[in-house]
Structure 1
Amino acid sequence: MTEVLGTIAVAAEFRELHTMAEMIQANQLLDSIWQGDASSRFDPALLVAMAHAGNYVVGVFRDDEMVGTCVGFFAAPAGGTLHSHIAGVRSDQVGQGVGRELKEHQRLWCMARGISTITWTFDPLVARNAYFNISRLGAAATEYVVNFYGAMSDNVNVGQASDRMLASWSVNSPRLGPFSAQGLPLVLDRGPDGEPVEESADAGKIALRVPSDIEHLRTTDPEQAIRWRLALRRQLGDRMSAGWHVTGFDKSGIYIMEALET
């Protein structure tokens, strides 16, 4: 019997998934969101096994129809971390608060099991995701990983390197925003032609702007999108590898970094 875990303010219902029929439905939903990339999906039998082992396999329902799903698994340190591997919401449900409530559901699910941290990855070039994760949730951006998933063939990521940022969210931490990049030197900015412009700065606190809509840019000018990927990898990824920390994300689409002592 499917367990109903909660109903949220946007009239969605969260259910832990258990049956093969539910897993096939979740798999098909992910397939439709990522438009056919097998690497973005889970085999339904694997989902059944993951759910049976107590991992986070959840569907989001409206009017008894699955409109979103999320899969997470336990990660090191044992008993202390849930890694949220994939979450998808049907396109007609985007912007209706489902993503925020999904994170809140994960947080409560983890607290009930004594799990203190949730981790996940996101594309650091997608400004709305960076703002949501860092400014709205208060997650820490802890690691920049180059081409994390290798080459991806889905229509969302095709032709682009899969660089990812690892986010780490303490389920008991308060939201840290809002952040302001006003007055900080921009080491990465958008030029008049939309191209990335890189600058040097002799400062311990800097700012890096990303495109307002990289997903649209990938469809209109994929080569420019690649140049943005490489510029952000140099300016953000290399600095993080050298010990710099992301300390905020301005709502105008700007990362804030500081050279903190480690």
Structure 2
Amino acid sequence: MTMTSPNNVQRKTVQPLGGVSPSRMRQAISQAEQAALLACVTIETVTGHAELEQVFGLFEKVWQPESGNPPVHRDMMKALAHSGNYVAGAFRGGDLIGGSVAFFEEPQHRSLHSHITGILPNVQNGHIGLALKLFQRAWALERGILHVRWTFDPLVARNAYFNVSKLGAFPIQYLPRFYAPMNDSLNGGADSDRLLIDWEIGSSKVSDVVAGSGEVPTPESLGASELLSISEAGLPVLKSTKNRFVTVATPNDVYTLRKSDPAAANDWRLAVRETLGGVLAENGVVLAVTRTGKYVLDRAPGTQAGRTTAEVTS
């Protein structure tokens, strides 16, 4: 699928391999088209050397990595694109302003791992990220892929909110020190804890969330208690509660905090690892993320009114 213009979308349709209905496929394509219109971008898969060089340069501008350690090398992107994997760019007025790279993963290429997505800092918060992800979703569904997975830094509040509450994807595993320390402008050499997230792209739930019609639970509606809160000084505060529904806060701006107070940023890393990571390790689930980056968690999924499913049905 190639979106050649936000006002005149043309597509090279790939016959779906199964798994989603034609109506769901049309809906996914329509949602991707509308997102591109909203962001005023053209989104295309990228295969040529010149365009791949632009994507490489964009990632360099966004992450500003240490010398010799780019987020993804141009030669690797060429190999991925040539072998049918996913490299895409978002263009506005002929200029590349966003890019994304993904590759197939097991089992049997029924899922896609989205390795990296970046947008130039001066155009962020303009719906470009949504357009890139919905284009990726439609591209994957056309190829019979039902799940897209990726990792993200759990301390970045805006990404957590976007991934969970705007896209309808949910964290499935907390991964401490997933990468080696990353010495770039965003990570600052800190521990690279990540959340692995799963996006069930063919589900009605995801379609509803993307359309803005899905119900998103709130801490207030669940009567959730704080497991990790934020102090007036912006520091993490661990709390004890037996409540089934809990919240885990994140710092207001971890990127700035890493530069101004690395010790405080590390305190946040350890606190979120202990609380969010601990709940997920004990089979808890993330239900939502608030706009301020507060995770809303269910520590006992599968229970009703305080009783387990087995007790209810026995």
- Per mean C-alpha deviation after superposition, the further-off stretch among 239-248 and 111-120 is 239-248
Counterpart of 1:134 (choices 164, 175, 188) is 164
Find the residue that maps to 1:227 and give its secondary structure.
helix
Gaps of 5+ in 2: 7-35, 303-314
- Report what 1:151 is aligned to: 181
* CA shift for structure 1 position 253: 2.7
Cα deviation digits, residues 63-89 of structure 1 (max 9, x gap)? 111111100000112221011100111
CA RMSD of aligned residues (A): 1.7
Look up the match of 1:120: 150
Q: Are residues 34 and 194 of structure 1, via their aligned partners in 2, closer, same or farther at CA, if it must alter by over 3 Å?
A: same
Residue 241 (structure 1) aligned with residue 281 (structure 2): yes
- State how many pairs are aligned: 260
Matches of 2:149 and 2:76, distance apart in 1 = 21
| Counterpart AA for 1:178 | V
- The match for 2:200 among 145, 170, 179 is 170
Q: 1:111 aligns with which of 141, 149, 152?
A: 141
> Hey, what does 2:95 align to over in structure 1?
65
Q: Which of 207, 212, 217 matches 1:179? A: 217
Q: 8 Å contact 2:174–2:196 — kept in the other structure?
A: yes
Aligned to 1:20: 49
Query: For residues 138 and 221 of structure 1, what CA distance do their matches in structure 2 show?
Result: 33
Q: Match for residue 29 of structure 1?
A: 58
CA deviation vs aligned residue, 1:36-87 (integer Å, no higher than 9, x gap): 3454422222211110111010111111111111000001122210111001
Instruction: Give 2:235's match in structure 1, choosing from 188, 195, 200.
Output: 195
Structure 1 counterpart of 2:300? 260
Per the TM alignment, residue 177 of structure 1 is displaced from its structure 2 partner at its CA by 4.4
TM-score (norm 1): 0.93
Residue 160 in structure 1 maps to residue 190 in structure 2: yes
- In the alignment, the residues of structure 1 paired with residue 262 and residue 187 of structure 2 have an alpha-carbon distance, to the nearest angstrom, of 10
How far apart are the structure 2 equivalents of 1:231 and 1:219? Answer: 19
Secondary structure in structure 2 of the residue aligned to 1:147? strand
What residue identity is the alignment partner of 1:180? T
The structure with the greater share of residues assigned to helix is: 2
Q: Structure 1 regions of 5+ residues with no counterpart?
A: none
Q: Percent identity?
A: 35
Q: Give TM-score scaled by structure 2 length.
A: 0.79
